[in-house]
Structure 1
Amino acid sequence: MYKLRMFNMKWQLLNYFLISSLITVSSIYIVLEYFKEELTSWEFRLWFAAAILVACLTVGYIATKRWQRKVDELHLAMLEISKGNFASRIELEPVEPFLYLYEAFNTMASAVQERVQLLQKFGEAEAIRDQELTENAVMEERRRLARDLHDTVSQELFAIHMSASSLPKILERNPDAASGVMNQLIQMSHHAQKQMRGLISQLRPIELNDMSLQEALEKWFPEYCRTHELQGQLDVVVGESMSEAIEHQFFLIIQEGLANVIKHASAKQVRLAIHEREHQYVLQLQDDGQGFERSDIPSASHGLSTMRERAQKLGGEVEIDSKPGAGTRVRVKIPRFAEEPSGLTLVREDERNEH
């Protein structure tokens, strides 16, 4: 079958060459047969040569235009695949010289789509397992914070209580010393309040807590910007099709990106946008900070490599665009699939049977 298709392609090209040859030979025959006397004129010979050239070029143009259109279809489909549209396919026609190429491309695109989708699903499963491990670490960290609470704020409150208890007797015996004790109480209460706020902020981890990504960001992002004196702009438009694992990874990437903005960018404004396209989820974080050279990206921050790893777990990619003095833009693209491949369904059924 492969040889037959190649044979058909060769014959199509030969047909165009045959048509050009027939036009040339027929024209020469007609001129030699009926216009012998006119051949003595150089003007006639010039026009005759021009006519043959135009006819052959017309046939060649039609042939190249038809084949170029076929090549362009393949090129556009390849560009769609490179942009993350793994659902891109070329429509097949019954009589098509490029049929074997188009079929090979569609087969390859289907295989890539299935593998990337499986990679994303396995990445989601791994992210969920990592989240369970993280929860154990969070519990241990909370125990540490509880000990710190006992060793700092609790002792401060005890000292405040003792000083406040002694204040009535001081007022009774030495009223002049009471003002010093009251100032001490104010200072200790202020210090205890400051320590309590710090511990509370650590005891409130940033989590989705059964909220969607959009709901969590609408609640957390403005507060985060106010706390760090940033002018924030939030633009999130996503549907309900985004999986929990993708939402969780996006949220972690946003945290990492904003932490980089606070630490390194010296920015005043930051814009966060998440859009759901037909074949992709796109996250974009942009600031007006000091930026950096592209050559410094690998060593600029550990957070950038972490963001790449989180995106790659789900079959995505991270693009970083930055120039000194022109801010930084981080764009994260995660493939979006309409339905699960059959292979993954079988894997999940096997897992259920094992349990």
Structure 2
Amino acid sequence: MNKLSRSINIKWQLLTYFLGALAVVIGGFALGWIYWREALSENGMWVEYVVALVVAGLVIVYMIVTQLQRKIDALHLAILQLASGNLGERVRPLGMDPFDRIYEDFNEMASSLERRIMLLQQVGEENVMLQAQSNEAAVIEERKRLARDLHDTVSQQMFAIHMSASSLAKMMERGQTEAAGPILEQLVTMSNLTQKQLRSMIAQLRPIELEGRRLSEALDKWFPDYCRQNGLQGSMDIRLNGPLSDGIEHQLFLIVQEGMANVVKHASAKHVALSLHDNGNQYVLQINDDGLGFHTDQARANSYGLSTMRERAQKLGGDMDVRSKSGAGTRLKVSIPKFAAAKEAKPNPNPPEEQERS
């Protein structure tokens, strides 16, 4: 016999509860009429007695409604947790209660959704690593070559221009035409700025490979250097309870790089905070800056950089949320579901075929 069919239908339970409350009121009135009619009539207490019975009935109804509200609130909270990405959320059945049918359907739906998202994450990780193996080596080699070329040619030429301009400026101070002084000083300033920009480009073209190191180790090296090269005050907080899979680490690192590039290009920020936490059910990555901000409903919300980061998160079954306000900075939050090893290996105790046969 199906376990769901053993529970009482909600409408019959409600009817029973309200009939019981009505029976209390009518029964109390009947007892008063049979046993205390004369006493109540002599003291003129019939009105008070009836009011007391009605209040008692209302109290019973209130208790019934409160109990039902608690059951609905428990289901509502579980739905909100599931919608926020906590795929391990379940509702504990009460035992032979009409709401058990709804709770069990919700738990089965949540389990099915968890299995599907977990499979999506595994497929996404496999695709990420396959793509990385096929083209990452060529991309890294090309970036290294470009970095060497820029360093050996343009960077050294800019340094020579700076040295020549500095020497020429000193010569002008010894008696040459004073009108050329400001121009030469401007040349020195421009050469310095150009050299700094080129060094930043060279640093960006030299990629940080994750092979042989964990994500936290790579960020410990890359993040401070990147902030220093771009004039940012950076703070980083990484709290992980264990190692991440290669696919998740690869995607998160690319998201961090893209997010920091957006901060440098668009935010005009002075401080940026990077955090990566494991809250038990999700990996949560956040990048907060104190820059210019923007209206998220405008075109920049649909920019290539943001859409690329969102796609990377969605490949792992997660999502990205961007909150910004003009003049109040930007917060980028990426949430990736976390699946325990035990859950991955645990088979479904009630396959759909068995549920249909039960």
Whether these two folds match at TM > 0.5 is yes
User: Per the alignment, in what secondary structure is the counterpart of residue 283 of structure 2?
Assistant: strand
Shift of 1:256: 0.5
Specify the code of the residue in structure 2 equivalent to 1:235. Answer: D
Contact 2:88 2:114 in 1 (8 A): yes
**Structure 1 equivalent of residue 118 of structure 2:** 117
In 2, distance between residues paired with 1:143 and 1:220?
A: 16
- Which consecutive unaligned segments of at least 5 residues does structure 1 have? 157-186, 345-355
Please point out which of 289, 299, 307 is paired with 1:305: 307
Shift of 1:203: 5.8
**Structure 2 equivalent of residue 234 of structure 1:** 236
**Structure 1 equivalent of residue 213 of structure 2:** 211
Superposed, 1:237-252 pairs within 5 Å as 237-252=239-254
Shift of 1:298: 5.2
In 2, distance between residues paired with 1:75 and 1:219?
A: 44
**Structure 2 equivalent of residue 97 of structure 1:** 98
**Structure 2 equivalent of residue 224 of structure 1:** 226
**Structure 1 equivalent of residue 175 of structure 2:** none
In 2, distance between residues paired with 1:198 and 1:52?
A: 82
Contact 2:125 2:248 in 1 (8 A): yes
Q: Structure 1 pair 124/100, CA: closer, same or farther in 2 (3 Å)?
A: same
Shift of 1:284: 0.5
Bigger-Rg structure (1/2): 1
The range that moved more, 126-135 or 140-149, is: 140-149
User: Per the alignment, in what secondary structure is the counterpart of residue 89 of structure 1?
Assistant: coil
1:44 and 2:41 aligned = no
The range that moved more, 26-35 or 214-223, is: 26-35
Please point out which of 312, 318, 341 is paired with 2:344: 341
Normalising by structure 1, report the TM-score.
0.77
1:273 and 2:275 aligned = yes
Q: Deviations over 1:34-54 (max 9, x none)?
A: 444466689523212211111
User: Per the alignment, in what secondary structure is the counterpart of residue 125 of structure 2?
Assistant: helix
In 2, distance between residues paired with 1:237 and 1:220?
A: 17
User: Per the alignment, in what secondary structure is the counterpart of residue 89 of structure 2?
Assistant: coil
Shift of 1:15: 2.4
**Structure 1 equivalent of residue 322 of structure 2:** 320
Number of matched residues? 312
**Structure 2 equivalent of residue 20 of structure 1:** 21
**Structure 2 equivalent of residue 178 of structure 1:** none
Superposed, 1:130-169 pairs within 5 Å as 130-138=131-139, 141=142, 145=146, 148=149, 152=153
Q: Structure 1 pair 292/42, CA: closer, same or farther in 2 (3 Å)?
A: farther
Q: How many percent of aligned residue pairs carry the same amino acid?
A: 48
Please point out which of 262, 265, 268 is paired with 1:263: 265
Specify the code of the residue in structure 2 equivalent to 1:226. Answer: R
In 1, distance between residues paired with 2:330 and 2:200?
A: 30
Q: Structure 1 pair 254/197, CA: closer, same or farther in 2 (3 Å)?
A: closer
Specify the code of the residue in structure 2 equivalent to 1:288. Answer: D
In 2, distance between residues paired with 1:47 and 1:276?
A: 62
In 1, distance between residues paired with 2:16 and 2:123?
A: 52
- Which consecutive unaligned segments of at least 5 residues does structure 2 have? 158-187, 348-358
Contact 2:143 2:207 in 1 (8 A): no
Q: Structure 1 pair 276/143, CA: closer, same or farther in 2 (3 Å)?
A: closer
1:85 and 2:82 aligned = no
Q: Structure 1 pair 21/229, CA: closer, same or farther in 2 (3 Å)?
A: same
In 2, distance between residues paired with 1:198 and 1:75?
A: 51
Q: Structure 1 pair 43/215, CA: closer, same or farther in 2 (3 Å)?
A: farther
The range that moved more, 268-277 or 142-151, is: 142-151
In 2, distance between residues paired with 1:290 and 1:52?
A: 66
Q: Deviations over 1:282-341 (max 9, x none)?
A: 001000000001212655632111110000000111111100110000011000000263
In 1, distance between residues paired with 2:87 and 2:209?
A: 32
The range that moved more, 194-203 or 96-105, is: 194-203
- Superposition CA RMSD, Å: 3.4
**Structure 1 equivalent of residue 174 of structure 2:** none
Normalising by structure 2, report the TM-score.
0.76
Contact 1:16 1:63 in 2 (8 A): yes
Contact 1:20 1:59 in 2 (8 A): yes
Contact 1:298 1:305 in 2 (8 A): no
1:128 and 2:129 aligned = yes
Q: Structure 1 pair 306/15, CA: closer, same or farther in 2 (3 Å)?
A: same
User: Per the alignment, in what secondary structure is the counterpart of residue 209 of structure 1?
Assistant: coil
Contact 2:313 2:320 in 1 (8 A): yes
Q: Structure 1 pair 219/15, CA: closer, same or farther in 2 (3 Å)?
A: same
Specify the code of the residue in structure 1 equivalent to 2:85. Answer: G
Specify the code of the residue in structure 1 equivalent to 2:130. Answer: R
Contact 2:8 2:97 in 1 (8 A): no
Q: Structure 1 pair 202/86, CA: closer, same or farther in 2 (3 Å)?
A: closer
Q: Structure 1 pair 221/240, CA: closer, same or farther in 2 (3 Å)?
A: same
In 2, distance between residues paired with 1:239 and 1:89?
A: 23
Contact 2:323 2:330 in 1 (8 A): yes
